[in-house]
Amino acid sequence: MEAADLLPLLEQLDDNIDDLEEALKPILDSSVVETSKKLPVMDKAKFHVLVTYALESLIFSYLRLHGVNAKEHSVFRELTRVKQYFAKITALEAEPEKRTLTLDKQAASRFIKHGLAGNDKIDLARKEQEAKERARAQLKASILAKKAGATSQQSSQNATSNSESESESEELVKPAPKPSGKGSDDKKKRKDKQKRRVSKEEHNENKKERRKKKDELRKTKKLK
């Protein structure tokens, strides 16, 4: 690389050093101890870690400028250790998870019963309360069972009534049975017999009328 190419890089390095001196001036004007006294605990930890990291980084850069393999130097191990401190500080700065307090009711009731044990009045009152709660639970269960039985019975009655009404409607809707062939023949025979009887009776009446007329004619002839 030619010297003309190195000049811009050197100028940039000079500018970076000037910026670094301005940034470190407040720290360099006073000692680290005096500066850290005025800071709270978390800021004090950050301050010490940042100062250490800045010094180790300068040493690392100095070694590389002189052609030394800085990764094999002990300063590289110090830089990794300082980075671990950075991670610890960021973890502490993160908001802790909110712990929800939960009450174990069973454990609390056991403690209370154990603490109140030995007092006859309290034991008797507790037993009475437990008996009342059991009686209430049994009463509720019986009421629910009765309601369930009543609803099932009512539903069965409704189902039977619906089935009966459906059967009645089906019977009403059923068409009338068609007359069989034998019944129609019997009716025809009866009608024929009735017609014959009527015709015989008419014939007999006609005969009677004729006889009457003949008798009347005979009587009139005799009188003449």
- Residue extents of the structural domains in the chain: 14-94
Q: What is the pLDDT of residues 78-124, one digit of tens each?
A: 999 999 998 998 888 886 655 556 666 777 777 776 665 556 677 77
- Distance between CA atoms of 210 and 205, rounded to whole angstroms? 9
Residue 6's pLDDT is 79
- Determine the residue type at 49: V
Instruction: Please name the amino acid found at residue 57.
Output: S
- CB contact at 8 A, 35 and 47: yes
118: left (phi over 0), alpha (psi -120 to 50) or beta: left
Contact 70, 60 (CB under 8 A): yes
- What distance lies between CA 183 and its chain's CA centroid? 71
CB 5 within 8 A of CB 52: no
| Alpha helix stretches (DSSP H) within the chain | 3-29, 32-37, 41-65, 74-93, 105-116, 120-173, 181-223
d(CA 66, CA 81): 24
Q: Which two tokens stand for residue 157?
A: 């009655």
Pick the more confident residue, 29 or 105. Answer: 29
When pLDDT is averaged across residues 194-222 and rounded to a whole number, the result is 75
Residue 116: per-residue pLDDT: 59
What pLDDT score does 218 carry?
75
Give yes or no for residue 224 having a pLDDT over 80.
no
Q: What pTM value is reported for the model?
A: 0.38
pLDDT of residue 26: 78
Per-residue pLDDT at 9 exceeds 80: yes
Across 142-167, average pLDDT: 73
pLDDT band at 208 (very low <50, low <70, confident <90, very high): confident
